[in-house]
Structure 1
C-alpha cells in the first residue's frame, strides 16, 4: 500500500469512527433506528429531533466536563 493510500485510509477512519459512535449512541437511546412514520416530512422531523436531542446531550457533557 502506498503512503498516499495509507494517509487516505487514516483520514477516512478518523471520520468513520466518530460517525459510527454517534449512530451507536442514538441506537442505544432510541431502541432502534427504524423510523415508523407516514411521509418524508415526518420522518425528517423525527430524525431531526433525535439529532437535536443527541447534540443537546453532547453539549451538556462537554460543558459539564469543562472542555
Structure 2
C-alpha cells in the first residue's frame, strides 16, 4: 500500500475560507489526501484542515471549502 497521507496543493491555501457544511470560517492550513483503505478496498478522501478563530483546527471535505466573503 502507498503512503497514508499526501499533501495536496489548493488554490485557497493560507487564505480565509468557509466550511459550507458548518458555516465556520478560518484559515485553510492544509489539504491532505488521506488513505482510509481497509484490507478489502482502497479509498482516498481529500480533507481540508481549517484553523478557526479560536486557534483550533478542524477538518471537512475539501469539496466543502469556499472563499470567505
Task: Decide which structure has the larger Cα Rg and report it.
Answer: 1
Q: TM-score, normalised by structure 2?
A: 0.25
| TM-score computed with the length of structure 1 as normaliser | 0.25
Larger fraction in helix: 1
